[in-house]
Amino acid sequence: MKRLIKVGGRHRKLEGWPLLFTILTTISVLIGGVVEFIPLVLVKGNVPTISSVKPWTPLELTGRDIYIREGCNNCHSQQIRPFRHELERYGEYSKPGETIYERPFLWGSKRTGPDLARVGGKYPHLWHVRHMEDPRSTSPQSIMPPYAWLLRKELNLSHLPAKMRVLNTMNVPYSAQEMENPVALAQSQAQEIANEVAAQGGPSNLADKEIIALVAYLQRLGTDLNATSAD
Ligand code: HEC
């Protein structure tokens, strides 16, 4: 009994020195934090990889930056929750491993428009071109604003090599080929998509326009999960 009182007394005394007490508390919280945090970062198994999920191609990466620039994520989430009504509407729910190459991620929760996590492949390329030019031409009651300038504005790929280098330092596994000549790769993918748009009856001069990068990005969204992977 006597001892207990003595211990309590020492703690009381410590509480009476606010500065020292704050310092000691901070140190113990930091130690606890480090013990919890370090394994989370170091243990590789904590990152839920899915082998069929690959990084964005250079063109899709450019399209993603246009998506961010235009604020599409203010109205569209990219995260399907595991609820029946979401699965019925959007498809398979989003897995953490699907977005490991996202810097920054665009999950969001604001849904003025529908979730886009699995919009890839839902429509032909031309649908997206028409929808961006004038949303009401494809969805008559749409309240989405038009982005017609994307069909006119030239695609700027000059920052692409630097962007790829930065992502590569953050462990996004780009191949040597992608790292060496991202601009040429982006241009050839853009040409392919532009040809398809033209073949579907759309404008034939879009290969070097921003809209093509955005379409490339949208058409990739959510498709990796069920992609047949080579490895
Ligand atoms: C003001 C809110 C708003 C903004 C900003 C917005 N959208 Fe939308 N979006 C909507 C609404 C509402 C719909 C549903 C009606 C429609 O299809 O247009 C929609 C539909 C879509 C669809 C079709 C989804 C589907 O499954 O049918 C796509 C793709 C899309 N938006 C892409 C974009 C892109 C890309 C941007 C940025 C360039 C963007 N949206 C910006 C509100 C918005």
User: Tens digits of per-residue pLDDT, 39-90?
Assistant: 888 887 777 889 899 999 999 999 999 999 999 999 999 999 999 999 999 9
Q: Is the pLDDT of residue 229 over 70?
A: no
C-beta of 112 in contact with ligand 1 (< 6 A) = yes
pLDDT of residue 226: 85
Residues 6+ apart with CB under 8 A from 194: 204, 206, 207, 212
Q: Is the pLDDT of residue 1 over 90?
A: no
CB 119 within 8 A of CB 128: no
Supply φ then ψ for residue 209, to 5 degrees.
-105, 155
172 C-alpha to ligand 1 centroid (Å): 28
C-beta of 144 in contact with ligand 1 (< 6 A) = yes
pLDDT of residue 230: 46
Q: Is the pLDDT of residue 7 over 80?
A: no
pLDDT of residue 213: 98
CB 152 within 8 A of CB 209: yes
* Residue from 66, 75, 212 to probe ligand 1 pocket by mutation (most atoms less than 8 Å from CB): 75
pLDDT of residue 5: 53
101 C-alpha to ligand 1 centroid (Å): 23
Quote the distance between the C-alpha of residue 128 and its chain's center: 19
C-beta of 139 in contact with ligand 1 (< 6 A) = yes
The tens digit of pLDDT for each residue in 104-136 reads 999 999 999 999 999 999 999 999 999 999 999
CB 154 within 8 A of CB 209: yes
Q: Which atom number of ligand 1 is nearest to the Cα of residue 74? A: 5
31 C-alpha to ligand 1 centroid (Å): 46
Nearest protein Cα to ligand 1, atom 13 = 113
Of all residues in the chain, the percent with pLDDT exceeding 70 is: 95
Nearest protein Cα to ligand 1, atom 6 = 72
Q: Which atom number of ligand 1 is nearest to the Cα of residue 214? A: 35
Using pLDDT thresholds of 50, 70 and 90, give the confidence band for residue 231.
very low
Nearest protein Cα to ligand 1, atom 32 = 72
For all residues of the chain together, what is the average pLDDT?
93
C-beta of 142 in contact with ligand 1 (< 6 A) = yes
Residues 6+ apart with CB under 8 A from 52: 224, 225, 226, 227, 228, 229
By CB atoms closer than 10 A (0-12, 13-18, 19+), residue 74 is exposed
What are 128's two structure tokens? 């997206």
105 C-alpha to ligand 1 centroid (Å): 18
The tens digit of pLDDT for each residue in 136-187 reads 999 999 999 999 999 999 999 999 999 999 999 998 999 999 999 999 999 9
Name the CATH architecture for the domain at 58-226.
Orthogonal Bundle (1.10)
SS3 at position 75: coil
Q: Which of 178, 165, 169, 154 has its CA nearest to residue 66? A: 154
